[in-house]
Amino acid sequence: MKDTKRVLITVKTYPTISKKYDELVCTAGVLEDGSWIRIYPMPFRKLDYENQYKKYQWLEAPLEKNSGDVRPESYQVKDINRLKLLHSVGTDDNWSERRRLVLKNQHAFTNLKNLIAKANKNELSLAVFKPTRIIDFLWEQTERQWSKEKLDLLKAKSQQLSFFQTPEEIEEAFSVVPKVPYRFSYKFVDDEGTESTLMIEDWETGMLYWNCLKKCKNKEDQALQQMKQKYLDDFLKKDLYLFLGTLKQFHGWAKNPFVIVGVFYPPLMQQVDLF
């Protein structure tokens, strides 16, 4: 059918709670032609968030432009009963298929000022960004529990979510999706030498925290150092790209509306592979 699109999921953020349920998560990906698309709201149960669909998995769904979101790539699912999960794209041959799908027909921005200018003209709200140099991986402590006020507001709005969630499902889901008590960021330089710090909201970052904490027997300092090793030492040996997305409430006017919604880290290509 004409309204059905195939999307390769490349962005899946860690759940957060705000006073508007539509800001809980961000799901985005690329279409078969390589163009970006954001699916919002995504009809999944928070309890099954990790397992409902995976990054770099194709899904097929009937999509229509989301009239409640001015960001040009934002669409919504018309009929969740027609949503199909398809095959995943692996990392064979040095990520060749992922690299082809993600980077084909995509301009990898290297200048943050130019990217922000395009977002403020509403030309885009999702982009691939290639930093010139990563300076640091940072963290700062934040609240350790979900805000009771926001939880209560979320439950009060549960009827708005009833097309894919019940109040019981919401309560159960957030009882098993723990709040990460830190906010993580990359500090980097673009091609003009401009230094920026952007928050990372990737699902993998949140899950890495919990996995490292478990390995370190709940010693947070050690877990954070393990994360830093991953995001600095390990990722900087890769061909690192950042997926940037604007926050809805800041899109079109903020000095910098972007956050890092995903990290793309295929292996560095050997020079001989280019010929």
Which pLDDT tens digit goes with each residue over 134-148?
999 999 999 888 777
How many CB atoms lie under 10 A from the CB of residue 275? 4
Q: Which of 58, 77, 106 is the last residue of a domain?
A: 106
Look at residue 83 and give its three-state secondary structure.
Answer: coil
- CA dist 119 → 21, 225, 259 (Å): 23, 34, 12
Task: Return the pLDDT at 134.
Answer: 98
Spatial distance between the Cα atoms of 158 and 135, rounded to a whole number of angstroms: 42
- Per-residue confidence band for 17, with pLDDT thresholds at 50, 70 and 90: low
Instruction: Tell me the whole-structure pTM to 2 decimals.
Output: 0.85
**Neighbouring C-beta atoms of residue 82, cutoff 10 Å:** 13
Domain count, the chain: 2
Residues 68, 42 share a domain? yes
Contact 65, 75 (CB under 8 A): yes
The answer to whether residues 90 and 189 belong to one domain is no
pLDDT (tens digit per residue) in 77-114: 888 778 888 999 999 999 999 999 999 878 899 999 99
Give the rounded percent of residues in the chain with a pLDDT score beyond 90. 60
Residue 157 lies in a domain: no
In a domain, 173, yes or no: no
Residues 115, 244 within the same domain? yes
12 and 80 share one domain: yes
Q: Cα separation of 206 and 202, whole Å?
A: 7
Range of the domain at 24: 1-106
CATH number of the CATH domain containing 96: 2.40.50
Confidence of residue 150 (pLDDT cuts 50, 70, 90): low
Q: pLDDT tens across 159-194, in order?
A: 454 445 555 555 554 444 688 999 999 999 999 999
CATH number for the domain harbouring residue 128: 2.40.50.110
The verdict on whether omega for the bond into residue 131 sits within 30 degrees of 0, i.e. cis, is no
